[in-house]
Amino acid sequence: MGKAIDFFSQPVHAPVQEFQLPAFDQADVSVWIKREDLIHPFVSGNKWRKLKYNLMEAETQEKRSLLTFGGAYSNHLVAVAAAAACCGFMSKGFVRGDEKPRNHMLYLCETFGMELIYVDRTTYKDKEALTQQKITETTYVLDEGGTNALAVEGCAEIAAEVNQHFDHVFAACGTGGTLAGLAKGFATSAPQTQVHGIAVLKNGGFLKEVVESFVPGLLNWQLHLNEHKGGYGKTSPELLRLIQETAADTGILFDQVYTAKVLMALLRMLDAGEINRGSKILLLHTGGALGYLSQHG
């Protein structure tokens, strides 16, 4: 059996756990968290889901090298580097950044054997031209963030692992692949469940078209475009305090780019009475907790 098929066919450990914060009692809701972050330390959370069928496909096509793109703090780059190493592929990543950035995420990429190619912001925009520079017959190309139909397929499998009923499911939304997959999966396994995507970037209106293109006609999902706290990667003392308090109270680490924004959005919606009392809510911990470390030098 191929290494990728073997790696991604192993049973997934992403349990649904009760998640208790005082604010949830006050709002009279019960909240659970699906620990996608526990699937793998480096092929974390939704990145594992999104890479699953892509890497199996790459192996079937007898590709030898993965080529992809990401920002300097990209969870996707680290996940591709680690998954490539697990599955016997070489990997190359174009990194966006005007001067050569150095940080713990890129250091991990290199440690897993990824070749990093640094390009300035203008050059980075023309991904087609960059791809042409490095592609060979044995290269499998993954877009920035890794969203495509196979990624949506992988994320749809999350729903089938949830065997209690939830009124609402919440997840972070960056490129829309995870939200599309959740909508697709829950439409089959629990059509009454409403799936909420929290856009973590400003001007996320385009995400609606992306999700619709993958799951045309589905009405079980919605996007929240005003919970990004100033834009992608933007943080605040309030957000960091929430991460620290939640970590100390529950032992679960969120990150400021994705998962903490979801928690903060949920707390705001509860406070504003936008969610019915008595609701049962599932939060998806999509991983990426390593990103929190960028707050510390």
Ligand X SMILES: *Cc1c(COP(=O)(O)O)cnc(C)c1O
Residues that bind ligand X (CB under 6 A): 45-47, 75-76, 145, 147, 172-179, 258-259, 286-288
CB of 264 to ligand X, least distance (A): 14
Instruction: Please choose, from the candidates 216, 170, 165, the residue with its C-alpha nearest in 3D space to the C-alpha of residue 192.
Output: 165
CB of 197 to ligand X, least distance (A): 7
**Beta 65-70 vs 30-35: how paired, if at all?**
unpaired
CB of 36 to ligand X, least distance (A): 8
Phi, psi of 165 (to 5 degrees): -90, 135
CB of 25 to ligand X, least distance (A): 27
Locate 222 and state its tokens. 């919605």
Of the pair 45, 185, the CB lying nearest ligand X is at 45
Of the pair 32, 42, the CB lying nearest ligand X is at 42
Of the pair 190, 253, the CB lying nearest ligand X is at 253
Locate 221 and state its tokens. 């999902």
CB of 37 to ligand X, least distance (A): 8
173 in Cβ contact with 210 (< 8 Å): no
CB of 62 to ligand X, least distance (A): 27
Of the pair 118, 232, the CB lying nearest ligand X is at 232
Of the pair 50, 63, the CB lying nearest ligand X is at 50
Residue nearest to ligand X (CB): 288
Of the pair 43, 116, the CB lying nearest ligand X is at 43
Phi, psi of 175 (to 5 degrees): -115, -5
CA distance 97 to 101: 7
Locate 254 and state its tokens. 């969120």
Query: E strand or H helix at 244, and its extent?
Result: helix 237-250
Of the pair 86, 180, the CB lying nearest ligand X is at 180
DSSP label at 145? G
CA distance 128 to 116: 17
CA distances from 234 to 48, 50, 91 (A): 25, 25, 29
CB of 273 to ligand X, least distance (A): 27
